[in-house]
Amino acid sequence: MRIRHIAIFSDAVLAGALAGSLVGPRPAEAVARELIELQRDVTSLLQGQKDLSTQVTQDHTIMKTLIEQSNDNVGKLGATMSSLQKSFQDVQANSGARLDTMSTQVQGLSDNLEEIKSRLGKLNQQLVDLQNSVQGLDAKISGATPAPATGAAPTSLVGTAKPIASAGSPSGSSVIPAGAPSADTLYSNGLRDITSGKYDLARSEFEDYLKFYGDTDLASNAQFYLGEIFYKQKQYVDAVAAYDKVLTNYPKSFKLGPARLRKGMALIELGQKTAGVRELREVVKRYPGSDEDRLARAKLKELGVALTPTR
């Protein structure tokens, strides 16, 4: 369009020059020279316009190519970001599962440590009892007590020494059938299976533990882990009942804090928010500074509930 306007303008100028030459008495040679120069200028203008048009076309092509490349790069970047986001979500999910497994394993190690401490305490008491019995025997011998007949036990000492009970076979347990696994075996297998996600098998093992070894130091732990199994299987009613047994039947258990915390969580899952919040507040009140206290506070904050009830 611009070339067309320039051509029209040059024609007009040429016509004006011709008219001027006709009107004025200018020499023919001068007029011809001006016309040639004018023609040259018009040609130069047309060439410049053509070059400019070519340059604009090239620039447009380059810009189009750059835009297409940018769009491709943006698309690739979006795909990469989506892939990274999915990878991050997968890692986050796996990390959560691994943390849960590690938490159970650490809890199992803690339980084993408590069991060892308990057994050491019992062994120490048995050694004290045995030492007292030996000292009593020495006292009687030094007091010139007549020596008993060969092969006969001293009647004055019968029943004075306490038998050393084996760890894992406490008195008062249920009658253990022949071939039944030991307490250590049942408990260790239960921990292993709950850690590996074999919840039904772990539940059977912990139930057997409570059936045969219900008065051992780790019985409350076995009861707590039954609640954990029900919780993981989303059987929250059974979980609450299992945690309640820990709180009711084992008042000296070191699982009281975890049991009350998990009971509160299970009640909230059942939609019983008021009862669940009450249990979490009890955790904060009874076990300040513990891990259970920290988790209870976090849950109450998540629920938008105060740490203490408002009057």
Q: How far is it, in rounded angstroms, from Cα 262 to Cα 239? A: 8
Query: What are the tokens at 216?
Result: 């051992």
pLDDT in tens, 117-144: 666 766 766 666 665 665 555 555 445 4
- The widest CA-to-CA distance across the chain, in whole angstroms, is 174
Fold assignment, 182-311: 1.25.40
pLDDT for the residue 108: 67
For the chain, first and last CA: distance in Å?
85
The size of the chain, in residues, is 311
* Helix 273-286 vs helix 291-303: crossing angle, to nearest 10: 140
User: Which contacts (CB < 8 Å, 24+ apart) does range 13-21 have?
Assistant: 13/38, 13/42, 14/38, 14/39
pLDDT for the residue 202: 96
Pure H helices in the chain: 2-23, 28-142, 183-195, 199-212, 219-232, 236-249, 256-269, 273-286, 291-303
pLDDT in tens, 19-51: 555 555 556 777 788 888 888 888 888 888 888
Query: In the chain, where are the structural domains located?
Result: 2-81, 182-311
pLDDT in tens, 175-228: 777 778 899 999 999 999 999 999 999 999 999 999 999 989 999 999 999 999
Q: Where are the extended beta strands (E) located within 46-135?
A: none
Q: How far is it, in rounded angstroms, from Cα 178 to Cα 226? A: 25
